[in-house]
């Protein structure tokens, strides 16, 4: 009936069209899911995709929240995209995110209660360094012993989670928290608080940093020799070597960038939306960012939109949950559908569907 035919060159139009197609397919399949749950499918789709941006009751709040939720996803995904282009698979961004939060948060808390405009920049730096150093462990082991960075970076996530537990029950535990395992609240310490820069816009330092990272990544990848080196290292390590790219340096740089950016995102999350260090502040951003990186086709602009779309399904999903009383699992299934269709329709970029004529014998 149908057959797939390879396109001579990847379709530019399909690169733009496939995400739209995926969203439409998700709306249809998701609508059927909600209908089976006895809910109004049109209302459900409207609540998830439309209300967070345009509903006059909640949108003034949820629009800024989209930025806040998307910022760490985008920042981390951008960092990961360099390595993924070069075939260096950092799966442990969640751990680097956590270590960045701890390192940056600890530096801030060390200064408490001194107030100074220098403290927050120092914390950002410490956050980035924390994530960077954590990513240097898999980098070192890969370069020195050729240890698989996928396994090492992933395992270090669990080390980081336990380290966080030890920190908030020990040295970083709030002296005014009645022994509960949380750090001091950053919103009670102005110099270290990552609050909204302009009220009700959602713009905090982390969001601004994300925008900067998008632009810098775009320039690096498209117009800088580094982008070329990374791409060559991924497509043909041998060719890269001949053109003078040192594979060890590429490994260190790629893991370092992703670790540093994840660490910075962790610091912004801890000092802003989460408000304090606790074992609950990591929400899986480091893992979700892997999905965002691929949804965005490892392209900075693509990642920007993928991150926002991801955030939209989270926030819209919450609205749908309490406005329609649908279970949390149905929203997760819905998100899963979106990812599924996104990846499934990607085939249309390189292939076209042809109707096969029936041959008469």
Partner 1 sequence: MKLLKTLLTGAALAVGLSGAVHAAEKVKVGFIYVGPTGDFGWSYEHDQGRLAVEEAFGDNVETVFVESVPESADSERVMTQMALSGTDLIFATSFNYMDHVMNVAKKFPNVKFEHATGFKRSDNVSTYSARFYEGRTVIGHIAGNMTETNTIGYIASYPIPEVIRGINAAYIAAKKVNPDVKMKIVWVFTWFDPGKEADAATALIDQGADIIMQHTDSPAAMTIAEEKGIYAFGQASDMIQFGPNARLSSIIDNWAPYYVNRVKAVMDGTWASTDTWDGIKPGMVGIGAFSDKIPADVQASATAIKDALSAGTMHSFTGPLNKQDGSVWLKDGETADDGTLAGMNFYVEGIDGEVPQ
14 or 68, CB closer to partner 1?
Answer: 68
Task: Using the rule CB under 8 A, give the single segment among 31-39, 88-96, 133-141, 222-230 that binds partner 1.
Answer: 31-39
When the beta carbons of 97 and 294 are compared against partner 1, the nearer one is 97
Binds partner 1 by CB under 8 A, chosen from 321, 340, 343, 351: 321
Give the 3-state DSSP-derived string for the chain, with helices as H, strands as E and coil as C.
CEEEEECCCCCHHHHHHHHHHHHHHHHHHHHHHHHHCCCCHHHHHHHHHHHHHHCCCCHHHHHHHHHHHHHHHHHHHHHHHHHHHCCCCCCCHHHHHHHHHHHHHHHHHHHCCCCCCCHHHHHHHHHHHHHHHHHHHHHHHHHHHCCCHHHHHHHHHHHHHHHHHHHHHCCCCCCCCCCCCECCCHHHCHHHCCCCCCCCCCCCHHHHHHHHHHHHHHHHHHHCHHHHHHHHHHHCHHHHHHCCCCHHHHHHHHHHHHHHHHHHHHHHHHHCCCCCCECCCCCCHHHHHHHHHHHCCCCHHHHHHHHHHHHHHHHHHHHHHHHHCCCHHHHHHHHHHHHHHHHHCCHHHHEEEEECCCCCC
Measured distance CA(77)–CA(5) in Å, rounded: 32
**Residue ranges in 47-66 that form contacts with partner 1 under rule CB under 8 A:** 57-58, 61-62, 65
- In the complex, the smallest distance separating the C-beta of residue 50 from partner 1, rounded to whole angstroms, is 9
Q: Binding mask 325-354 vs partner 1 (x if CB under 8 A, - otherwise)?
A: x-xxx-------------------------
* Interaction between residue 269 and partner 1 (CB under 8 A): yes
Q: Which of 11, 23, 25, 46 binds partner 1 (CB under 8 A)?
A: 46
199 touching partner 1, by CB under 8 A: no
Check binding of 158 to partner 1 (CB under 8 A): no
Q: How many residues bind partner 1 (CB under 8 A)?
A: 49
We find the least distance from the C-beta atom of residue 352 to partner 1, in angstroms, to be 33
Q: For residue 274, state whether it binds partner 1 (rule: CB under 8 A).
A: yes
193 binds partner 1 (CB under 8 A): no
Residue nearer to partner 1 on the CB measure, 87 or 279: 279
State the nearest-atom distance from the C-beta of 178 to partner 1, in Å. 5
Least distance (Å) from partner 1 to the CB of residue 266? Answer: 12
Considering the complex, what minimum distance in angstroms separates the CB of residue 281 from partner 1?
A: 5
Binding site for partner 1 (CB under 8 A): 35-36, 38-43, 46, 57-58, 61-62, 65, 68-69, 161, 165-166, 169-170, 178-182, 185, 187, 269, 273-276, 278-281, 283, 314-315, 318-319, 321-323, 325, 327-329
């Amino acid at each position: 009936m149908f057959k797939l035919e390879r396109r001579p060159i990847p379709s530019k139009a399909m690169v733009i069209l496939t995400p739209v197609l995926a969203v439409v397919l998700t709306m249809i399949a998701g609508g059927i899911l909600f209908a089976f749950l006895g809910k109004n499918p049109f209302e459900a789709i409207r609540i998830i995709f439309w209300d967070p941006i345009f509903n006059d009751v909640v949108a003034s709040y949820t629009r800024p929240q989209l930025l806040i939720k998307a910022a760490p996803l985008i920042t981390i995904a951008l960092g990961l995209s360099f390595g993924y282009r070069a075939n260096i698979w950092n799966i442990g961004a969640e751990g680097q995110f956590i270590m960045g939060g701890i390192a940056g948060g600890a530096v801030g808390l060390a200064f408490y209660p001194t107030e100074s405009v220098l403290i927050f920049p120092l914390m950002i730096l410490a956050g980035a360094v924390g994530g960077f150093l954590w990513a240097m462990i898999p980098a070192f082991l890969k370069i020195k012993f050729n240890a698989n960075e996928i396994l090492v970076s992933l395992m270090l996530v669990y080390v980081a989670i336990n380290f966080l537990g030890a920190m908030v029950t020990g040295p970083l535990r709030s002296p005014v928290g009645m022994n509960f395992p949380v750090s001091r609240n950053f919103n009670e310490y102005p110099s270290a608080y990552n609050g909204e820069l302009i009220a009700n816009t959602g713009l905090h330092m982390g969001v601004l940093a994300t925008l900067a990272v998008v632009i810098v990544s775009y320039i690096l990848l498209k117009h800088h020799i580094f982008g070329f080196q990374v791409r060559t290292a991924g497509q043909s390590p041998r060719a890269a070597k001949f053109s003078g790219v040192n594979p060890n340096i590429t490994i260190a740089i790629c893991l370092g960038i992703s670790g540093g950016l994840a660490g910075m995102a962790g610091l912004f999350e801890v000092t802003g939306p989460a408000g304090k260090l606790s074992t609950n502040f990591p929400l899986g951003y480091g893992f979700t960012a892997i999905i965002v990186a691929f949804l965005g086709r490892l392209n900075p602009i693509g990642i920007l939109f993928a991150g926002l779309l991801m955030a939209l399904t989270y926030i819209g999903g919450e609205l749908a949950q309490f406005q329609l009383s649908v279970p949390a699992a149905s929203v997760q299934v819905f998100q899963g559908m979106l990812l599924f269709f996104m990846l499934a329709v990607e085939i249309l970029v390189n292939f076209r569907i042809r109707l096969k004529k029936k041959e008469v014998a």
